[in-house]
Chain A
Amino acid sequence: RKSTLNPNAKEFNPRAFAQPK
């Protein structure tokens, strides 16, 4: 069975883990 997941998908950038300014 071939996966439908796309290895070229855009990386998710979580707000909660973002560096504070």
Chain B
Amino acid sequence: QEPLTSSMLAAAPPQEQKQLLGERLYPLIHSMHSALAGKITGMLLEIDNSELLHMLESPESLHAKVEEAVAVLQAHQAK
């Protein structure tokens, strides 16, 4: 699968852009947190597309943001 680029994204309608990003992010997130992957991906998709593209290219950035999402979810569920 070829890398997702900003020009590929720009050619798609806004809602489709998020779906495209989600399709790339989901398998990566699923390998870290299989049970929460759909929820975490949904949370991350609210971030700007340019930042999401950066995360797809930077495993460290993605990993940090996924861990942040898990912490937010756990704090939310503890309420």
Contacts and interface: CB of A to CB of B under 8 A. Distances in A.
Contacts, number: 52
A14 B26 contact: yes
B57 interface: no
Given A5-B46, A7-B73, 11 more contacts: A3-B72, A5-B65, A5-B68, A8-B76, A9-B42, A9-B43, A9-B46, A10-B42, A11-B42, A14-B38, A16-B26
18 contacts: A5-B46, A5-B68, A6-B43, A7-B43, A7-B72, A7-B77, A9-B42, A9-B43, A9-B46, A12-B22, A12-B26, A12-B38, A14-B23, A14-B26, A14-B27, A15-B23, A16-B26, A16-B27
